Amino acid sequence: MFDLTGRLALVTGAGRGLGRAIALALAGHGATVLLNGRERAPLEAAAAQIREAGGAAEVRVADLTDAAARAALMAGIRQAHGRLDIVVNNAGARARRALGDFAPGEIEGVMATNLIAPFELARLVAPLMVARGWGRIVNIASIAGPIARGGDAAYTASKAGLVGLTRALAAELGPHGITVNAIAPGFFATEANTEMAEDPQIAAWLKGRTSLGRWGQPHEIGGAAVFLASDAASFVTGHVLIVDGGHVSHF
């Protein structure tokens, strides 16, 4: 049920962190993975890691906040493969600062990456999935959608919007055999969070505030992505799978 052999998957933001872990997990279950990001070097490193483990991977460099780059990316995939079975919208941007510290229009950059790019990518990929009567779209949201904290308004708003988009697309694309779900990660010790992950005060806070009492490790996101991308989740759509070690539910 979790076998992805023969499936073609695109993972955005695949060079580092959770995107890389998701790409490795999908490839490990048989998918051919197209790794997307803005920088070639980390994508090539991730692709090499997949190939060394016996998997198949291709590198697709593109800035998904750019309309022409999105169109070129999809045109290249159509020309090379004629299909795309799985899309994981993982690429994200964050701007942690107080409301008054934002420059006019600055929120637009966060929205462009976290919300508009997934919308546009879904719009471009939907015809390929509809034609085959099968598809999986997995959006990487955040626990910052259902909960919030000060100094993070732009990111929280964008991820809440992504959850809404997930449900709307699930309703629209479901009749065509396409499921659309989201994963809401909690605190993961990725490269972007290195400074926080090494802070003993934050570790102590997580120990008391999270059921499992620790940071998540990037590989621990892989199972959720494989599940939602596979036939094991064939009757799951419009769902937000929280992967946070019990942070949201723990008081």
Give residue for tokens 């799951």.
236
Q: What's at 75, amino acid-wise?
A: A
Contacts of residue 33, Cβ cutoff 8 Å, sequence gap at least 6: 9, 10, 11, 14, 23, 26, 27, 50, 55, 56, 57, 58
Q: What's at 88, amino acid-wise?
A: V
Quick count: other Cβ atoms within 10 Å of Cβ 156?
Answer: 21
Are 166 and 138 within 8 A, CB to CB?
no
Residues 186-225 have pLDDT tens digits of: 999 998 888 888 899 988 999 999 999 999 999 999 999 9
Q: Is the pLDDT of residue 101 over 80?
A: no
What would the mean pLDDT of 174-180 be, rounded to a whole number? 98
What would the mean pLDDT of 44-53 be, rounded to a whole number? 98
What would the mean pLDDT of 108-118 be, rounded to a whole number? 94
For the annotated catalytic residues, the residue numbers are 155
What would the mean pLDDT of 105-132 be, rounded to a whole number? 95
Give the integer Cα–Cα distance in Å for 67 and 122.
Answer: 13
φ/ψ of 180, rounded to 5, equals -130, 120
CA 8 to chain centre: 16
The pTM of this model reads 0.95
The mean of the pLDDT values for the chain is: 94
The reported pLDDT for the residue numbered 250 is 87
Q: Is the pLDDT of residue 245 over 80?
A: yes
The CA-to-CA distance between both ends of the chain, in Å, stands at 35
The reported pLDDT for the residue numbered 59 is 98
